[in-house]
Amino acid sequence: MIKSLFGTCQSQFAEILKRETGKDSQVVLSLSEYSLESKHKSIIGGVFLRSQDGLIVCDNSLDARV
């Protein structure tokens, strides 16, 4: 079900980035436990975001919130 929302989310986030920064950005969302560091592989839900270069990380997982 989540994967079916990726297209809409990607385009909406790209629009927000353009509005806020004035730059076109490529937004790619993925659902992959393999791209997470080992300490985050067992998150029980929520969202973990990381920029492609790894410099920006947003851990909004349920584990981090609790």
Domains of the chain: total: 2
For 14-56, how does the pLDDT look when each residue is reduced to its tens digit (9 = 90+)? 999 899 999 888 888 777 655 555 665 666 777 777 777 878 8
Burial 4-23 (b: 16+ CB within 10 A, else e): eeeeeeeeeeeeeeeeeeee
Selected residue with higher pLDDT from 12 and 44 = 12
Quick check: 60 pLDDT over 80?
Answer: yes
Q: Are residues 36 and 66 in the same domain?
A: yes
65/36 same-domain check: yes
Enclosing domain of residue 42: 32-66
- pLDDT given at position 43: 66
Q: Whole-prediction pTM value?
A: 0.55
DSSP track, 1-66? --GGGHHHHHHHHHHHHHHHHSS---------GGGS-GGGTT--SEEEEE-TTSS-EEEEEHHHH-
Q: Are residues 23 and 38 in the same domain?
A: no
Q: Could you give phi then psi for residue 24, rounded to 5 degrees?
A: -75, 135
